[in-house]
Amino acid sequence: MSLDFTALGKQVRQMSGSAAGSRLDTASRTQQVAARYRSAAAETERWAQAVNLSRETASWLFALPVEPLDTVRPLPTCPASYALVATDGSQIDLDRHGTVACALVNVGRVFLRYGHKPLARLNSQPYLYYTEEDLYLTDGLRRVAIEGNYLAARRDVEEGVALADLADEMLDGSLPALALQDGTLVRWALANAERFVQDYFLQRYLSYLERMRKSGVPVASYISRPRAPEVAGTMRLMFCPDVDVAAGKGARCSECSDIRAHREPSCKICEGLIDADIFAERLTEGQRGPLFASMSRINVECYGEHLIHFFLIRVGRELARVEVPRWVATDAEQLDRVHTLVYDQCVRGDGYPVALARAHEQAIVRSPERRAFQHMVEGSLYRAEVAASASMKRESKEFTRG
């Protein structure tokens, strides 16, 4: 056994004690921040202006309130019949120690119809990348490998395109419909990428969202147990002494930069809090909170008409985050449809959208399948008389030495 549980046990006990103390501190600060949020509910416009004034001068994330801060929407009536498409993906990344340079993305596709003439169709679509154009991006001077986060970005694109194709194929407009994805619609992994890399992925991704907009089918994504601190970032402005909307001044972190003051910044009370902490006591089962626009730079600068908005919804013991593009957020009927159908999917899936659970099952590539894929590649190379071998590092891991 390579893991020393005796040595590890002491560290685990220390971690547990630290977590207990941290939880008490977080609960106390959450109560104070939530109280400040409630007191600011009548000043939504003021704090929206504060966000716009601070976006370029503060160093943290914000959420722009689109609805009054005290908004609590009850669950709309769910239609007796509706249709839904969903996708999810998994990947096998480029392996430098493998027999050949290639990567795999597998996209699970699900169509579900409820009510009159119920129907379910589930399948998956694999995408193998192995050419120079598949594995690298270039602007003529720079060459960037599509691996890691960039392969995940490609998977996101393939999931979106597959979702649009599935909607075109299966949704005929006769029933209320929804297109659903897992995870965020904001391509955070591209935020710090070079511009030509951003353009390559975002052009296709935004084209998928545009296809969905033209089809009239609302698209949404679902994030279970979200850790985003964007509303919490807006709350920091409410504790910041620099913010003066009437004078056109946003947060400039002047208090924080005054080293001689030896004081904790006023906004430190929000440190480590997440959006779900703020809304935990406000929302009951099925209710959603106010709509916000994510003010992340890539969202604001690149998404245009598809600017991603979000709300939190109570599903059992957790608050989930639901994201939608602006053209859904500004359409009351589509927004209500997203609200009620996402919740109905969670009820059917015991707390998580059943369509996404089925899409994940179709997409995931398990260990036996990974080994079968590896053997398939090696066998095909052998039959094609292509000399190929794994690195010594891989061979040393696969075979136990005596």
Q: Are 202 and 189 in contact (CB under 8 A)?
A: no
Summarize the confidence of residues 273-294 as an average pLDDT: 96
Summarize the confidence of residues 250-262 as an average pLDDT: 63
Residue 81: strand, helix, or coil: coil
Q: Are 176 and 84 in contact (CB under 8 A)?
A: no
Summarize the confidence of residues 26-39 as an average pLDDT: 93
Distance of CA 351 to the CA centre of its chain: 18
Residue 385 has what pLDDT?
Answer: 77
User: Per-domain residue ranges for the chain?
Assistant: 21-60+230-270, 82-229+297-365, 368-398
- Dist CA 284 CA 294 (whole Å): 24
Got the DSSP string for 36-54? HHHHTGGGHHHHHHHHHHH
Q: What is the pTM of this model?
A: 0.91
Neighbouring CB atoms inside 10 A of 364's CB total: 14
- Dist CA 354 CA 232 (whole Å): 30
- Dist CA 22 CA 11 (whole Å): 16
Residue 25 has what pLDDT?
Answer: 86
For the chain, what percent of residues have pLDDT higher than 70? 93
Per-residue pLDDT tens over the stretch 345-366:
999 999 999 999 999 999 999 9
What is the CATH code for 82-229+297-365? 3.30.2170
Q: State yes or no: pLDDT of 254 exceeds 90.
A: no
Average pLDDT, the chain: 91
